[in-house]
Amino acid sequence: MKKIEQGYRVPSAAYTIPRKVIKGYIPMDSNPKIGDLLYGQISTLGQHNSLENSQGRIHTIHQGTRAIFVFGNRYAPDYYEGIIPESGNFEALDLLARSGVVGKVLSKSGKVISPTKIKPLGYVCDSEGKILNTKQFSIVKPKNSIKKHPRAKLILAIGTAMNSGKSAAATACVYALSVHEKEVRASKVTGTASLKDILSMNDAGATHYSDFSFLGYPSTYMIEESEVVDIFNKLDLKYANNKDNYWVVEFADGINQRETAMLLRHPDIRERIHKLIFCAADSFGAIGGLQVLKTKFGLVPDAISGVCSSSPLHIKELREYTNIPVFNSLNIKSDELYKILKTKKKHKPE
């Protein structure tokens, strides 16, 4: 085991890792697993030129910057699809996200450049020489294992794709509820580690905020269905026990994405939904998305929002196809949105 010298960065994908357990690094003589910590050095700057730390601070990185990274997969149509390499040489790895997730890029959007390259130095280990893994250090530990009913009202934000406006819509819901003196907690259940979205919900009034990284997952792409459901349930058990509160939740990416689709099909999760918010980048996406949502999942949203909600013309086009309420998440009318969120659930999913 070699000592890790001072001056290295610890990014937000390693949110659960206590710094005191990091003692050194050892050669990479086994295949990495999701959550394994890597000690590495920036060899070539590409798309990402910064790292986010566990407080949400953004650190500029340079060629030669040393940091702890976390092996994980990423699904991001506007950036990269990347996976944990199963075998082969590990002389160079790709930085998949600013939060410090690393792997190998399979494909990339034409809107971004090649990824920043990482030179692996070795697996990060504890004082006994054991490889450290973020999943060993969950900070979400519910007191109960069985859900008591009734529970906090779940406001769920989903959408057509990445960057459709889900986080902004969830933040708007948090704000509308909190200014009406409701206790609100907020969580992001799927995606790739990034504190930006949940910190935004905290700024809007969520008294507690969390995501999958609090349970030690740097990302949720390609994990088992039992794991992603367990993430939802543990966050539910931790933050949504009071029937008088609201729990605002975002599922990342679009409704056709693997883990989001798993959750939307799961009966226990469907039954938890109090209000469903559907987001889209434009009116046509919203119109098509409503059809997919109904035919594939048997779900009808209670409101539409997202990027399209900021355009009067998009809203005008939407009105030709649906009378579902639309709210502009960038110009929040809190009284109107609160009325949508507080009313009793009128239907159950089919």
296-332 pLDDT, tens per residue? 999 999 999 999 999 999 999 999 999 999 999 999 9
Q: How crowded is the C-beta side of 167, counted as CA atoms within 13 Å?
A: 20
> Which tokens in the block code for residue 168?
């902004």
Domains and CATH numbers, the chain: 2-137 (no CATH), 153-342 (3.40.50.300)
Its pTM surpasses 0.85? yes
Instruction: Note down pLDDT in tens along the chain; length 350 residues.
Output: 999 999 999 999 999 999 999 999 999 999 999 999 999 999 999 999 999 999 999 999 999 999 999 999 999 999 999 999 987 668 899 999 999 999 999 999 999 999 999 999 999 999 999 999 999 999 999 999 999 999 999 999 999 999 999 999 999 999 999 999 999 999 999 999 999 999 999 999 999 999 999 999 999 999 999 999 999 999 999 999 999 999 999 999 999 999 999 999 999 999 999 999 999 999 999 999 999 999 999 999 999 999 999 999 999 999 999 999 999 999 999 999 999 999 877 555 55
Q: What is the enclosing helix (H) or strand (E) of 66? A: strand 66-71
Q: How crowded is the C-beta side of 81, counted as CA atoms within 13 Å?
A: 7
Q: Across-strand partners of 62?
A: none
**Residue 297 to residues 156, 228, 264: CA-CA distances in angstroms?**
15, 18, 7
Question: Which residue has tokens 């969390």?
Answer: 210
CB 215 within 8 A of CB 142: no
**Residue 2 to residues 11, 33, 260, 297: CA-CA distances in angstroms?**
21, 21, 41, 52
Write down the pLDDT at residue 349. Answer: 54
How is 117-163 classified by DSSP, letter by letter?
EEEEEEEEE-TTSPBPBGGGG-----S-SS--SS-PEEEEEEESSTT
Distance in angstroms (rounded) separating the CA atoms of residues 117 and 104: 10
User: Which residues does 250 contact at the CB level (< 8 Å), separation at least 6?
Assistant: 156, 157, 158, 166, 167, 170, 187, 188, 189, 197
Write down the pLDDT at residue 267. Answer: 96
111-137 residue pLDDT tens? 999 999 999 999 999 999 999 999 999
